[in-house]
Amino acid sequence: MRLSPRTKLVKPSATLAVTTEVARLRATGIEVIDFGAGEPDFDTPQRIKDAATRALAAGATRYTPVVGTRQVREAVVAKLKRVNDLDYAVEETMVTCGGKHALYSAFQALFGEGDEVVLPAPFWVSYADMLVLAGAKPKIAHAPASQGFKLTAQQLADALDARSRGVILNSPSNPTGAAYSERELQSLAEVLVSYPDVAIIVDDVYEMLYFDGDRPAHLLKLAPELRDRTIVVNSVSKTYAMTGWRIGYAAGPVDALAAMGTIQGQCTSNPTAIAQAAAAEALAGPQDELAPMVEEFGWRRDDVLARFGRLAGVRCVKPAGAFYAFPDVSALFPRVWRDRPLGNASRVCEFLLAEARVALVAGDDFAAPNHVRLSYATSRENLSRGFDAIEGALATLR
């Protein structure tokens, strides 16, 4: 069948491709330790499942308003106040089919043909492709491991120019786990203030998964003058182990949210009614399950760092949050597997999947080709077994 030229602009999601490959191997009876999937291994808390069951019994089986029920939008407003001390009206919020579709609608609503959008790298694989689908041009600003994967104010200033229409900030970051401090956010904000035509997309999906000390204040708390051109994007997926429920949300100026709502209305209609009820409970109910989950991720982070420390030549920046580690594995590139040097991160991943039965994601599509991403959203036992297998496989290489 003849496909539109648009299909050539995007490539399959590298993260989802690894998840699919793990599922394929497992279906053939091959046991794989999955360090690829970026989703919590915890189950959705019972109180949230119960809310969904109640909603279903009460007949939440029909369309809701496109941008979500009053109940879930009020829960979003309350969360933004409680967690971020930000004031939003219900009309300035919407729920979406996962955080991903909030980003998609925001890009479609804000950016057009040729608009430049500054994308600090390493970045989550889908930003670039979704920007391209909107006609925008990602302007990649590299923040290497040597600076903790964090863009400096000077680098942001260097990346912005008269053609800039947007910037994307994601902290803690997928894939690096790097998180900006308040001082760093403040200095980025000081640059952004001078670019009034630049929209700011703040992806807070990992905001609760923060390990060392207090979570920094929100960018908009530090720089409220940016509020009228910022879209805050978040989701219940990571915070409440609800990836499969597909509920994200956005908050921002009412005109932008209305445009995003119109786009959503023509694409998906409302997100699933039952999942909205569950998300309302997730956001507004007791938050007791969070602290133990974050503590467990923190322990795993420490385990992972210790194990990478044992792999000769592999260097890993200490992640401050999320559940990813993003080591530089270029020291392994000269090692020989199947008669030729490993050569690049994709082949390192291929080697580890074939010989250690461990799945990782290559750094290429995160714009960091010397790195691989390890998700430690898996048990400490799996982490230990996986690293044993990695060490065993590497020991066989010349």
DSSP state of 231: E
Which residue lies nearest ligand GLU, judged by its C-beta?
38
| CA–centroid distance for 217 within its chain | 19
Task: Single out the residue of 69, 84, 108, 126 in contact with ligand GLU (rule: CB under 6 A).
Answer: 126
Minimum gap (Å) between residue 377 Cβ and ligand GLU: 9
- List the one residue out of 39, 23, 41, 33 whose CA is nearest residue 353: 33
Q: What is the CA radius of gyration of the chain?
A: 21
Binding status of residue 164 toward ligand GLU by CB under 6 A = no
Binding status of residue 38 toward ligand GLU by CB under 6 A = yes
State the SS3 of 65-103: CCCCCHHHHHHHHHHHHHHHCCCCCHHHEEEECHHHHHH
The residue among 237 and 370 lying less far from ligand GLU, judged by its C-beta, is 237
Minimum gap (Å) between residue 130 Cβ and ligand GLU: 11
Minimum gap (Å) between residue 58 Cβ and ligand GLU: 31
Binding status of residue 321 toward ligand GLU by CB under 6 A = no
- Residues 171-200 as x/- pattern, contact with ligand GLU by CB under 6 A: ---x--------------------------
Minimum gap (Å) between residue 242 Cβ and ligand GLU: 12
Work out the angle at residue 19's Cα, subtended by the Cα atoms of residues 39 and 43, and round it to the nearest 5 degrees.
30
Binding status of residue 15 toward ligand GLU by CB under 6 A = yes
Binding status of residue 133 toward ligand GLU by CB under 6 A = no
Among 9-17, 44-52, 302-310, 363-371, the segment contacting ligand GLU (CB under 6 A): 9-17
What does the block give as tokens for 197? Answer: 């035509």
- Cis peptide upstream of residue 12 (ω within 30 degrees of 0): no
Residues 93-122 contacting ligand GLU, CB under 6 A? 100
- List the one residue out of 248, 280, 278 whose CA is nearest residue 264: 248
CA distance 253 to 259: 10
The residue among 16 and 153 lying less far from ligand GLU, judged by its C-beta, is 16
CA distance 38 to 129: 18
CA distance 389 to 363: 21
Site of interaction with ligand GLU (CB under 6 A): 13, 15-16, 38-39, 100, 124, 126, 174
